[in-house]
Amino acid sequence: MIYTVTLNPAIDKTVTIPDFCLDSVNRVVDCRLDPGGKGINVSKVLSALGQPSVVFTLLAGDTGRTLRAMLAQAGLSVVAHELPGQTRQNLKVVDPARHSNTDINEPGAPASAAALAGLRQDLLARVQPGDLVVLAGSLPAGAPPDTYAGWVSACQAAGAKVFVDADGPALREAVAARPYLIKPNESELVRLAGCPLPTETALVAAGRALLAAGVHKVVISRGAQGALYLSEEETFAAEGLSVPVGSTVGAGDSMVAALALAEARGLPWREAARLSTAAGAANVSCQGTEPAPREAVEALLERVVLRPAQ
């Protein structure tokens, strides 16, 4: 089974505003609501690809109840602990005229140590050897930076493989626990490395340093430039795919979902890279954080080009 963990979930409101301008009245021409948070996005994509998963999350207030109902409507299994306050709502502004995507994210409800411990205990009660756990997204207020590191160690001790998709201190602490896979984007990897990484060669070197530190696989997403895939056995690059842009929000989450699916099904690393690249590109063509249908992902697979990393 694949379990996704979203400690700071959200309802994502995506609005389309042509020629979006600051200090001006802007007219919304389209609006949609989606259940959000990186781990939840991973579960949504897994479901679209035909792979079941279980969402573990923290929910608060009326917004949290609405989010729970949205997840149920999407057919996702959910294990949640309740928090005081309100689950956050994030605003995504898509400007098709300027080809821009702007995220305005709320901080979310603070999480108590008891709520975090309770959710982790519920997860560990289910995890079996061979399972896969995806820890994704920002930490809520009140969660210490080493939160993911503790979850990585506990889940891997139970026999699961753990993927981490995070940023800043949460990612740095998690890396020290040696997760199976991490998926930083370029900016996140620069922050993790603590120095500029201006070339593909520099990105690969930083990725290989993470492998040397005990991470088994590293995927570096690069937006329109594609991605770099590093493992202990081989390193290569996937060229970016040119697709119509609906929204770039959640493209990285789609990549993580495809990587989790590939790992669960025992696909070779190169096939995992093809699926991941295709899933990320297919997601870009969708609106909001709507998952791309499996047929759209499969249609892009043959277009994925893998090459040696520079």
Radius of gyration of the chain (CA): 18
For 69, 84, 221, 246, the CA distances from 255, given in Å and listed in that order, are 26, 32, 9, 17
For residue 153, report the phi and psi dihedrals to the nearest 5 degrees. -60, -45
What is the strand order of the sheet 235-238 is part of? 77-83, 53-60, 2-6, 132-136, 161-165, 181-182, 217-221, 227-231, 235-238, 306-308
- Between CA 20 and CA 230 the distance in angstroms is 38
Residue entry with tokens 């609006």: 31
Q: How close are the terminal C-alpha atoms of the chain, in Å?
A: 36
- From the list 183, 254, 169, 196, the residue with the least C-alpha distance to 222 is 183
Cβ–Cβ contacts within 10 Å for residue 23, how many?
4
- Between CA 251 and CA 12 the distance in angstroms is 14
For residue 95, report the phi and psi dihedrals to the nearest 5 degrees. -115, 100
In the DSSP assignment, the letter for residue 199 is S
Is residue 253 among the annotated active site residues?
yes
- Between CA 192 and CA 164 the distance in angstroms is 13
Query: Can you read off the two tokens belonging to residue 296?
Result: 């759209």
Select which of 34, 131, 165, 253 is catalytic.
Answer: 253
In the DSSP assignment, the letter for residue 292 is P
Catalytic positions: 253
